[in-house]
Amino acid sequence: MSLVSRSYRGARAAAGPLLYLGATHRAALGETVAIDVPGRPALRGQVIDAGEEVTVIQVLEETLGLPPARATLTLTGEAATVAVGRELLGRIFNGVGHPIDGLPAPVGESIRPIWGAPMNPVRRVSPADFIETGVSSIDGMNTLVRGQKLPVFSGPGLPALELAAQIVEGARAPRGEPFAVVFVAIGITARETQTFLERFEKSGAMERSVLYLNEARDPTIERLLAPRVALAQAEFLAFEAGIHVLVVVADITHYCEALREIATAREEIPGRRGYPGYMYTDLASIFERAGILHGHDGSVTQLPILTMPDDDITHPIPDLTGYITEGQVVLSRDLHRRGVFPPVDVLPSLSRLMSAGIGRGKTAPEHREWSNQLYALYTQGREARLMATIVGETGLAAADRRALKFAERFENEFLGQGTYRRTIHETIELGWKLLETVPREDLLRISDATWAARRQAGGGSPP
Amino acid sequence: MTDRGSSATTGGSAAPEIRRGEDETPRLSAAPGATAASSRAHITRVSGALAEAGPMPEASLYELVRVGERQLLGEVIRIAGDTATIQVYEDTTGLRVGEAVSLTGSALTIELGPGLLGATLDGVGRPLRRIAEETGDFIQPGATARTLDASRRWKFEAVVRPGDRVSAGDVLGTVEERPGIVHRIMVPPDQGGAVARVRSGPFTIDEPFGELADGTPLRLAHRWPVRSVRPVARRLRSHQPFLTGQRIFDLLFPVAEGGAVVVPGGFGTGKTVIEQSLAKFAAADIVVYVGCGERGNEMAEVLNEFPRLTDPATGRPVIDRTVLVVNTSNMPVAARETSVFLGIAIAEYYRDMGYRVAVMADSLSRWAEALREIGARLQEMPGEEGYPTYLGNRLGKLFERAGRAEVAGRPPRTGAVTFVAAISPPGGDFSEPVTQAALRVASALWALDPALAHQRQFPAVDWETSYTLAAEQTAAWFTGNVGKDWGELRRDTLVLLQRDRELRDIAALIGPEALQDRDRLVLEAARVTREVVLGQSAYDPNDERSPIEKTHRLASLAQALYRAGLDALDRGVPFQELDVAAARHALMALRGAAADRMEELAAAARQAIDDLGRRKAAA
Ligand SMILES: Nc1ncnc2c1ncn2[C@@H]1O[C@H](COP(=O)(O)OP(=O)(O)OP(=O)(O)O)[C@@H](O)[C@H]1O
Ligand SMILES: [Mg+2]
């Protein structure tokens, strides 16, 4: 696109975050607009509807008190970009990439458009490398794999951020390869940010991290930019600098609310529960930026966090997210109340890329059967618990009673590991220990070969 | 980002003479030369995936256009006066008011010919590998990649001779497209006449291998508008089941070849695993897999896995029988809508050769959402849940393209297109418009249930909600080819599951211990049926595909277990003394048995069933 910049005096109208400009010369969709009002800091905007007679500009910052008639609008001919590079590691920025750590703005190794472009599916490498998070309910039951997008579905007041912090601190790349964290805060409170920052500093994670913080009091519109600015940086680290990047985004719910707010301001026809009809596509343009590419050493893995309004998993935010991501880790209010940390409900949780990341040479040869069996027994135990509330434990069949006991221990010992970091081998071993509390005939998912191998390795209950 | 209502530029709301085609037949402008007259045509507005351009008095609905300096692909979807509204198939960011727009004189077409098998195409038919060569790891708009490889020479063997009269669909000759797969070169649907010249030998898709008397050149490939149905001689009813290799479908909910199935389910219930398992293992000659608005990593998985898998029927790599059409959720929305048509058109083309083709569409909801997104931008009057009012109509026409048929042309041959469409209902609630519209035209429903998925009961098919309309029609095939008892086996299994559901409701209230022995046996037999017959792991190399004989065997043994239990109870053996655990274990081992141990383990399972009520006696 040509670089001629064109300046116009005064917008014709303004509504919410939108400015309406009259006839412009060759406006381009998506080009950045500089908005200057005498006596105010310059604002940025973006063309979202380019027309011969009217061009609509979405202001990317707070428009409160903006006098449209006195603004000078300059179409820059460029799409929104941001400086990216390794030098950003250890730094803190706001949602649009301006430093807020008191240091000067980075020059960057490259200037990247924040909107990104879709990876060509034929250039993608199928994710298959195990990431050890140190959390049993993830490593053992819902394994995270490099290049995956695996969200945490939380509820109001549940410790999702604590779990995320634990993962960030505990995550290890399999062969000790270069590893970095990009953390994006969207609309979270200053206190939450502070807690997270302190943990980052204390654990030494800060120096391999880049933080983008959009706090609750920051402009709504910046919430839409923050994850994209961060992903531009993550993509650079992964595909230019060969680093394995874990992107943590908290909280996607605030992102979606911002999207709804802006759609409403634009007077769009609302979709389910007021969220715009294109929210699926919009979220996909964030989540699909996870992945691995042929010929590049690094990877982008995403761990977005979202809060399910009313703990309702069918709410459009978790629903659409679940339709895009490669599984989900679901937190349970019930486990949280009982003091289990991390309170992961493994039944609705899922890692779709698990199979590719586990097994011989990666985790343990019997990992699939082992986790299938834990799932089966735990499901049976949970059903038995439900039934026991009606008919009493004595009304249960013997196998159901055993499963119920197993479920208790599974929740308290296996899931409830506290802040201790378990290696995958500790996780597998603990799982076996719990499985071996029931007779062999209850372990239908464990094949004879696996059972024999286990017995030979010294485990297993006596005949 | 959709239009707001207030702007003066809002397209068409008050404009006169709006032509908007509800039918999918493209109406083409007369002469390709007409493009010169519109050389002044330029973009007057861009918003999201839509552009408006004018003056374009000669534009036709559904005509393909080139938009802007980068020549982005677009399609005219509305004409008002001499302004055309264009849906652009590529990212419109950076498109400028004033950039030129040109008509191409044709509708969106797909190039049909040898070289489609094994290809990965985007939603408008460009091979993604070639796009990667042009624009790198990340897709940039403006790639020109052509569907078929024009540099490749194919060995053509003519079967007609000069002087023969040929008409639409007649086979002119063949090329071997992939080892063992014959690609029949046919007279395109709109052509015919006397063959003037024809020659066997190596040809590219552009080099004529012959000519009709009227001078029409004969080539290995031709173009076909993707929204148009390819004609057949006669539609046929099918009695042949579409064997999926998945026990629950083949046994309980079979579809006929040429049927159309809908597979709705909330996220993570297993739609994609089913679509991929069918693509790998179903009995089809050709598979067209349409990844519509879904994940890039899933496509990477297919591309990684399919070349390594062998098709048990032919011993060839599965990729050799597969065409992939891919528009991931972050690729342009307009091309999502076309991707499904593209897939179906390719399927019809191979059907015309006489093949049994299966089309997997994952997910049709994304296709419908693309319609909705475009409709909203056009400010059409929205129907239910914001979907355009013509959703049902469009969907019906799409499903109509499935079927078995005697295809056009000589030699006489039959082919079939079986359509398996995944649907992603919001909140997993089937009452939404896309699921409902699809159910009206589908011949089977495979309903997926999140509760079963959470219990890891896979495939998570809810056997109470699911149904098929093809059970009767395919019954004779199963009794004739698999086992005389097939009909009873299917019925007995369904009855057992039904009884189990009733009893479980009661057991939840009074506890299983309080049930009568016969009823407790039902619970156990149903459990074995769920685990061994209906359950099938996509990650067990020995069980990911279940040949129909194995399905029959496992279902028979589960029923045998039930009957043996009843016999024992009748003989006075109390329920606690039935060794169901051993029989379950043996059946589970059989389910996961490698082919070479199948007989041995089947004998062991049989033995365990015979021993069901005898433990006490033996001890
Ligand atoms: N037959 C099966 N055997 C074993 N696991 C299965 C099977 N079917 C599904 N699963 C499990 O369920 C997960 C989700 O399946 P899948 O990705 O097919 O869901 P989906 O319905 O396509 O979801 P979405 O709508 O979000 O795309 C898989 O990753 C796998 O772990
Ligand atoms: Mg899917």
pLDDT in tens, B319-357: 999 999 999 999 998 899 999 999 999 999 999 999 999
Helix, strand and coil content of chain B, in percent to the nearest 5, comes to 35, 25, 40
* Range with lowest mean pLDDT among A157-171, B126-140, B240-254: A157-171
* pLDDT, position A245: 97
Q: Strand (E) positions, B68-170?
A: 72-80, 83-88, 101-107, 109-112, 120-121, 154-158, 165-167
Say how far residue B119 (Cα) sits from the centre of its chain: 16
* pLDDT, position B389: 94
pLDDT in tens, B139-198: 999 888 999 999 999 999 999 999 999 999 999 999 999 999 999 999 999 899 999 999
- Confidence check: pLDDT of B15 > 50: no
Contact of B117 with B322, CB cutoff 8 Å:
yes
Contact of A45 with A63, CB cutoff 8 Å:
no
Contact A281 B329 (CB under 8 A): yes
ipTM of this predicted structure: 0.93
Centre of ligand 1 to C-alpha A327, Å, is 9
Nearest ligand 1 atom, CA B536: 1
Contact of A188 with A95, CB cutoff 8 Å:
no
What band does B452 get if pLDDT is binned at 50, 70 and 90?
A: very high
Provide mean pLDDT across the span B240-247: 97
* pLDDT, position A17: 82
Distance (Å) from the alpha carbon of A368 to chain B's nearest alpha carbon:
9
Provide mean pLDDT across the span B33-47: 69
Centre of ligand 2 to C-alpha B269, Å, is 8
* pLDDT, position A62: 77
Contacts of B46 in chain A (CB under 8 A): 28-29, 49-51
Write the Ramachandran bin of B144: left for phi over 0, alpha for psi from -120 to 50, otherwise beta. alpha
Among B292, B29, B452, residue whose Cα is nearest residue A280? B292
How many CB atoms sit inside 10 A of residue B406's CB? Answer: 15
Helix, strand and coil content of chain A, in percent to the nearest 5, comes to 40, 25, 35
Q: Kindly give, in sequence order, each residue whose CB lies less than 8 Å from that of residue A115, ignoring residues fewer than 6 positions away.
A: A30, A79, A80, A228, A285, B93
B531 → closest Cβ in A54, A280, A444? A444
* pLDDT, position A253: 97
- Confidence check: pLDDT of B314 > 90: no
- In angstroms, the CA A212 to CA A219 distance is 14
Nearest ligand 1 atom, CA B246: 1
Contact B512 A50 (CB under 8 A): no
Global confidence as pTM: 0.93
Residues with CB under 5 A from ligand 2 (ion): B 271-272
Q: At what angle do helices B517-528 and B548-570 cross, to 10 degrees?
A: 170
Query: Which amino acid, one-letter code, is at B217?
Result: P
Name the residue with tokens 């277990």. Answer: B561
Contacts of B450 in chain A (CB under 8 A): 348
* pLDDT, position B28: 37
B161/B375: higher pLDDT: B161
What band does B615 get if pLDDT is binned at 50, 70 and 90?
A: low
Provide mean pLDDT across the span B292-308: 93
* pLDDT, position B617: 45
Contact B297 A147 (CB under 8 A): yes
Query: Which amino acid, one-letter code, is at A186?
Result: I
B521/A194: higher pLDDT: B521
For B101, the token pair is 């727009």
Among B473, B478, B501, B502, residue whose Cα is nearest residue B490? B478
- In angstroms, the CA A60 to CA A63 distance is 8
Structure-derived torsion over alpha carbons of residues A57, A60, A64, A66, reported in degrees to the nearest 10:
-50
Centre of ligand 1 to C-alpha B271, Å, is 6
B467 membership: H or E segment, kind and range:
strand B467-468
* pLDDT, position B84: 95
Among B423, B459, B403, residue whose Cα is nearest residue B251? B459
What band does B8 get if pLDDT is binned at 50, 70 and 90?
A: very low
Is domain A6-78 classified as CATH 3.40.30.10?
A: no
- Domains of chain A: which residue ranges? 6-78, 82-357, 367-456
Contact of B228 with B25, CB cutoff 8 Å:
yes
- In angstroms, the CA B411 to CA B9 distance is 57
B9 → closest Cβ in A51, A269, A400? A51
Q: What is the pLDDT along chain A (463 residues), one digit of tens a residue?
A: 444 568 898 888 888 888 999 888 889 999 999 999 888 888 889 999 999 999 999 988 777 778 888 889 999 988 889 999 999 999 999 999 999 999 999 999 999 999 899 999 999 999 999 999 999 999 999 999 999 999 999 999 999 999 999 998 888 766 778 999 999 999 988 888 888 888 888 888 888 999 999 988 888 888 999 999 999 999 999 999 999 999 999 999 999 999 999 888 888 888 888 999 899 999 999 999 999 999 999 999 999 999 999 999 999 999 999 999 999 999 999 999 999 999 999 999 999 999 999 999 999 999 999 999 999 999 999 999 999 998 888 888 899 999 999 999 999 999 999 999 999 999 999 999 999 999 998 998 999 999 999 998 875 444 3
Q: Specify the CATH number for A82-357; select among 3.40.50.300, 3.40.50.12240, 2.40.110.10, 3.10.20.810.
A: 3.40.50.12240
Contact A266 B4 (CB under 8 A): yes
- In angstroms, the CA A193 to CA A123 distance is 36
* pLDDT, position A371: 96
* pLDDT, position B9: 31
- Confidence check: pLDDT of B33 > 60: no
Percent of chain B topping pLDDT 90: 84
Provide mean pLDDT across the span B393-411: 96
Centre of ligand 2 to C-alpha B350, Å, is 26
